């Protein structure tokens, strides 16, 4: 032993940096390995012991992941939610995240519901809308229950237009609403006159222009468009600058060759040209499509949904289908617009984490170094986020390559086992809503999924495995 | 001495890697410093001795660089070359690079001249065009003599449309032709029927559509557009994917609000949407604008022009105004399209090195990791190119920031002294033309400016300094 300490010691430090700091301060050398003990209590540990390396789970995950990779989302057209979403009733309002009743909804979601009720003409005033919402006549359900996804509040009511994405492999369809732009918008809980006027214009002008253009182009394959946007500095969640303008370029000539009026095409082109998030919702529907393909593989611990309703974070995994595993959400932190701070922030919100679930967004941040202007950090933050997510993912998606990492695929297919075993919560890029209804977006940042959902999912999955 | 070698030696290796390789092979440690002896013979060394650290040259370079930084290129409109370029005569044909007579022109340039003569209607057949070109009736002059720039062959004849860029600071104007797209195009020496038809369509349809749109938008500030494209993975020379689509998005609504016909706008939108180099020529005119601002500062060794005519490379520096310093060009190397090799390549060609002269293109390659798919190399190639160019540049351009390098400005303002003193030739991204007329582009790659031009310029500048 004394012989050992007489030598020039090389130290490998697992986990907490404090130990390596001390050794280096004393002139020693320490290689740092980012290691954390597994998350969760004895139940999670027992579940992990059952699931880790389990051949049935490994095979199930590979199957789910292969289905996700094979999926070919195609933007097929634009529909009206109430006519297009199978099972949506005339008094349905869909929202982001896992199920939640009106009383418990976050303020921005309530604001967006008020806006939707006014748009639908079910009430004429804010007070009447609030009364109606509380009265039990309206059915609130998650977008995900209808194969749909909506950013932030994610409100979809029957008259709203939706993008329709079809999986060329299975024929299954997924949906999202149309992006309204930045600032005061329904999805951030604003419902003033300008917000509702814009929504009416989107339904009455923009949606038909895009719909007719898509009839001319035929379906648009979305993975090549998403991949190209990633080569142009988008990560596909908080940054959709390239995707939005590439989408405009893809449809503009077709829009002009359709029977839409010249004025409507000009106004639509102007709207998309000035909405750097326009492609987000389309990309989200494509992500939902790829993940639906991976859903329902018995024994698989691959995440198929991560979604927030502003109160709870909800996770679904392939092997347990429609079950939600939930935990409380925390307020998002990041860069705030002038005049706002973390104290003003609503808890984390939106179905847009479907992008991270599908291996883009925060998982592809290395493709989007410019995003750190918007969410904070340095270019190393972006690279590290992508690299860290390789610890919790089943593989890489060769369709979504990252130029700055020499065209390696983005890490994809979150394995709930690996999240718990490495105590590494999935990274999520996000917008930040004001905690009160009616105000809108106040910032953007980087957040993480709560570990508790993954622990619950792993425990539940272990119960199904012999 | 024996004491010295008894110690554990640390070696700093300047220059040739071979020495460090040997030391490391023997188990030693060597820090590698990329150092090369200065270029040129005794005349260049004497000139450098006079110019290095010379306060007059330092002050002149700072002034030239500051003027370059302050320049504000604005896309003002579209003109017809013969009516717009001051001094251009009715039988002028402008070409890329330094002056060259017909007999010595490279084959692709001759091919493009034939095409221009046919377009102008000065001859009806290829043979008649060749006879006319050789007959002395046509005046050949560099684009640069008319404050214009043209990629590859760079041919501008009187009836061709040109983009007009105005410096908001000085009011001075610069020009370029309109980009024809990829493949068989005049600038690569092709002049078949389809090439000429496209040029006629560009003059008759596309140019008026853009011109009328610009009347609606008013002038478009180009530096913000170029900066945004660099945040979207363009380096602004070989990769203009983002710039081109961002330009389309900037003018499309205005084009629809002008009196251009719907069909013409649709065709123009389709053309720009499918031409990932459309923005190159506009960006080149902007670079020429910024560098003209830096021109004519007595004593300055800052490069204001780098241009190739396929036979000679030409350099101009601020302190010596209109003088050309030339050297032979070498064939470009890079990635070749299927069926072609280096043996088929024409020597380096085009005014597009104005982008590198202005601190974008190869100098900003770190912003465009995806470009290595097109020119060869890895993402490290791109980062290294940008970093190496800091050795030969006066400063950084804060208008052109690079996200992956934490938003540091692109290295800009090539100091001919530093090129010679460090023996570091400026990097240039380039397209590669076939060495015979009529074939077109066969590849793309990374090349370097010949040192000889810089040695000549430094010697000439030293002659002007007391």
Domain match, A321 and A277 both: no
Give the CATH number for residue B150. Answer: 3.90.1710.10
A109 shares a domain with A213: yes
Helix axes B207-217, B262-273, angle to 10 degrees: 100
Are A143 and A96 spatial neighbours (Cβ–Cβ below 8 Å)? yes
The per-residue pLDDT for A282 is 98
Residue among A257, A270, A370 whose CB faces B266 most closely: A257
Q: Is the pTM of this model over 0.80?
A: yes
Q: Name the more confident of A317 and B31.
A: A317
- 3-state SS of chain A? CHHHHHCCCEEEEECCHHHHHHHHHCCCEEEEECCCCCCCCHHHHHHHHHHCCCHHHHHHHHHHHHHHHHCCEEEEEEEEHHHHCCCCCCCEEEECCCCCCHHHCCHHHHHHHHHHHHHHCCCCCHHHHHHHHHCCCCEEEEHHHHCEECCCCCCECCCCEEEEEEECCCCCEEEEECCCCCCCCHHHCCCCHHHHHHHHHHHHHHHHHHHHHHHHHCCEEHHHHHHHHHCCCCCCCCCCHHHHHHHHHHHHHHHHCCCCCHHHHHHHHHHHHCCCCHHHHHHHHHHHHHHHHHCCCCCCCEEEEEEEECCEEEEEEHHHCCCCEEEECCECCEEECCCCCHHHECECEEHHHHHHHCCCHHHHHHHCHHHHHHHCCCHHHHHHHHHHHCCCEEEEEEEEEEHHHCCEEEEEEEEHHHHHHCCCCCEEEEEEEECCCCCCEEEEEEEECCHHHHHHHHHHHHHHCC
Q: Do residues B332 and B257 share a domain?
A: no
Q: Are residues A317 and A272 in the same domain?
A: no
pLDDT at residue B7 in the model: 60
- pLDDT tens for B242-276 read 999 999 999 999 999 999 999 999 999 999 999 99
Mean pLDDT over each residue of chain B, to the nearest integer: 93
DSSP B265-314: HHHHHHHHHT-TTHHHHHHHHHHHHHHHHHTT-TT--BEEEEEEESSEEE
Instruction: Give the count of beta carbons closer than 10 Å to the beta carbon of residue A33.
Output: 10
CATH assignment of the domain containing A398 = 3.90.1700.10
Q: Where are the beta strands (DSSP E) in B102-150?
A: 139-142, 148-149
What Å distances lie between residue B361 and B109, B230, B367, CA to CA? 23, 10, 9
Interface test with chain B among A8, A265, A268, A369, by most B beta carbons within 10 Å:
A369
A73 and A57 housed in the same domain: no
**Of B260, B285, B310, which one is at a domain's C-terminal end?**
B285
Pairing, β B148-149 against β B173-177 = parallel
Q: What is the pLDDT of residue A437?
A: 83
| Rounded Cα gap, residues B2 and B43, in angstroms | 42
Q: Would residue B162 count as lying in a domain?
A: yes
Among the partner-chain residues B232, B404, B406, the one whose CB lies closest to the CB of A242 is B232
How many CA within 13 A on the CB side of residue A104? Answer: 11
Residue B312: domain span: 42-68+295-464
pLDDT attached to residue A440: 82
Structural domains counted in chain B: 3
Asked if the structure places residue B290 within a domain, the reply is no
pLDDT of amino acid A14: 60
Per-residue pLDDT for chain A (466 aa), expressed as one digit of tens each? 456 555 665 656 666 666 666 666 666 666 666 667 777 889 999 999 999 999 999 999 999 999 999 999 999 999 999 999 999 999 999 999 999 999 999 999 999 999 999 999 999 999 999 999 999 999 999 999 999 999 999 999 999 999 999 999 999 999 999 999 988 899 999 999 999 999 999 999 999 999 999 999 999 999 999 999 999 999 999 999 999 999 999 999 999 999 999 999 999 999 999 999 999 999 999 999 999 999 999 999 999 999 999 999 999 999 999 999 999 997 777 889 889 998 999 888 999 999 999 999 999 999 999 988 878 888 999 999 999 999 999 999 999 999 999 999 999 999 999 999 999 999 999 988 888 888 888 889 999 999 999 999 999 999 998 7
At B449, is the secondary structure helix, strand, or coil? coil
Residue B186 near residue B440 (C-beta atoms within 8 A): no
**Which of A285, A318, A341 is where one domain is finished?**
A285
A267/B372 Cβ within 8 A: no
Q: Give the pLDDT of residue A12.
A: 62
Helices (H), B71-120: 81-84, 107-120
A-chain residue closest to B239, CA distance: A232
pLDDT recorded at residue B82: 98
CB-CB: which of A231, A265, A273 is closest to B370? A231
How, if at all, do strands A325-328 and A312-317 pair? Answer: antiparallel
Instruction: With respect to residue B224, please indicate whether it lies within any of the assigned structural domains.
Output: yes
CB-based contact, A403 to chain B, within 8 Å? yes
Indicate whether B104 and B248 sit together in one domain: yes
Please tell me the predicted confidence (pLDDT) of residue A334.
84
- What average pLDDT does range B354-375 have in this prediction? 94
CB atoms within 10 A of CB B69: 21
Count CB atoms within 10 A of the CB of residue B392: 26
Query: A241: which chain B residues are within 8 Å (Cβ-Cβ)?
Result: 228, 231-232
**Are B419 and B450 part of one and the same domain?**
yes
pLDDT digits (tens, 9 = 90+) for B112-162: 999 999 999 999 999 999 999 999 999 999 999 999 999 999 999 999 999
CB of B227 within 8 Å of any CB in chain A?
A: no
Contact list, B250 vs chain A (CB under 8 Å): 273
Interface check for B408 against chain A (CB to CB < 8 A): the answer is no
Q: Residues B385, B402: contact at Cβ < 8 Å?
A: no
Which residue among B285, B308, B328 closes a domain?
A: B285
Q: What is the pLDDT of residues B406-424, one digit of tens each?
A: 999 999 999 999 999 999 9
The pLDDT, as a whole number, for residue A11 is 59
Is residue B308 a contact partner of residue B237, using CB atoms and an 8 Å limit?
Answer: no
Contacting B residues, span 247-266, partner chain A, CB-CB under 8 Å:
248-250, 252-253, 256-257, 262, 265-266
Tell me, yes or no, whether B215 lies in a domain: yes
Chain A positions touching B373 (Cβ under 8 A) are 403, 407
B345 and B379 co-located in one domain: yes
pLDDT at B31 over 80: no
Task: Tell me if A232 and B241 make a contact (CB, 8 A cut-off).
Answer: yes
Distance, in angstroms, between B11 CA and closest chain A CA? 21
Q: Which helix (H) or strand (E) holds B245?
A: helix B241-256
Same domain, A194 and A88: yes
Residues B83, B22 within the same domain? no
Whether residue B218 is predicted with pLDDT greater than 80 in this model: the reply is yes
pLDDT of residue B121: 97
DSSP-assigned states of every residue in B406-426: TTEEEEEEEBHHHHHHTT-PP
The answer to whether residue A111 is domain-embedded is yes
Contact assignment for A242 to B250 by CB distance below 8 Å: no
B289, B76 Cβ separation under 8 angstroms: no
**Residue B327 domain flag:** yes
Give the model's pLDDT for residue A23: 60
Which residue of B253, B273, B369 is in closest CB contact with A253? Answer: B273
ipTM, 2 dp: 0.89
In a shared domain, residues B64 and B80: no
Give the distance from residue B147's alpha carbon to the nearest chain A alpha carbon, in angstroms.
Answer: 32
User: Does the residue A291 lie in any domain?
Assistant: no
Residues of B in contact with A270 (CB under 8 A): 253
- Domain identity same for B215 and B264: yes
In a mutagenesis test of the B interface, which of A206, A224, A232 is the best target, namely the one with the most B β-carbons within 10 Å? A232
Tokens of A133: 């919402």
């Amino acid at each position: 032993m004394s012989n050992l300490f007489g030598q020039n010691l090389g130290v490998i430090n697992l986990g907490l940096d404090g130990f390596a700091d001390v050794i280096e301060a004393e002139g020693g050398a320490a290689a740092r390995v980012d290691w954390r003990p597994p998350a969760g209590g004895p139940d999670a540990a027992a579940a992990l012991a059952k699931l880790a390396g389990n051949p049935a789970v490994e095979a199930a995950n590979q199957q789910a992941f292969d289905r996700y990779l094979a999926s070919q989302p195609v933007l097929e057209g634009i529909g009206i939610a109430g006519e297009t979403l199978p099972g949506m009733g005339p008094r349905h309002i869909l929202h982001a995240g896992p199920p939640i009743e009106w009383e418990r909804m976050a303020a921005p979601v309530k604001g967006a519901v008020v806006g939707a009720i006014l748009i639908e003409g079910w009430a004429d005033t804010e007070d009447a809308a609030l009364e109606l919402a509380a009265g039990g006549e309206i059915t609130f359900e998650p977008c995900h229950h209808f194969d749909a996804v909506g950013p932030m509040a994610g409100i979809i009511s029957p008259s709203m237009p939706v993008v329709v994405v079809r999986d060329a492999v299975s024929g299954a369809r997924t949906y999202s609403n149309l992006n309204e732009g930045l600032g005061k918008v329904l999805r951030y809980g604003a419902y003033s006159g300008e917000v509702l006027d814009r929504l009416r214009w989107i339904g009455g002008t923009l949606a038909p222009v895009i719909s007719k253009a898509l009839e001319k182009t035929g379906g648009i394959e979305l993975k090549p468009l998403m991949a190209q946007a990633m080569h142009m500095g988008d990560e596909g969640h908080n940054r959709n600058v390239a995707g939005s303008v590439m989408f405009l370029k893809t449809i503009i000539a077709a829009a002009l060759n359709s029977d839409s009026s010249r004025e409507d095409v000009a106004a639509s082109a102007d709207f998309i040209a000035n909405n750097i998030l326009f492609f987000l919702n389309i990309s989200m529907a494509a992500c939902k499509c790829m993940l639906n393909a991976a859903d329902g593989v018995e024994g698989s611990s691959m995440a198929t949904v991560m979604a927030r309703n502003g109160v709870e974070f909800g996770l679904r995994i392939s092997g347990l289908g429609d079950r939600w595993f939930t935990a409380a959400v925390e307020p998002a932190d990041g860069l705030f617009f002038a005049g706002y701070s973390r104290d003003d922030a609503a808890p984390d919100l939106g179905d847009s984490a479907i992008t991270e679930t599908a291996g883009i967004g925060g998982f592809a941040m290395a493709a989007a170094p410019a995003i750190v202007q918007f969410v904070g950090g340095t270019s190393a933050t972006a690279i590290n986020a992508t690299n860290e997510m390789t610890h919790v993912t089943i593989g890489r998606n060769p369709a979504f390559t990252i130029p700055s990492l020499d065209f390696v695929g983005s890490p994809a297919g979150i394995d709930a086992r690996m999240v718990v075993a490495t105590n590494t919560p999935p990274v999520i890029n996000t917008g930040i809503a004001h905690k009160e209804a009616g105000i809108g977006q106040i910032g953007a940042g980087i957040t993480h999924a709560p570990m508790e959902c993954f622990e619950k999912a792993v425990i539940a999955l272990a119960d199904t495995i012999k």
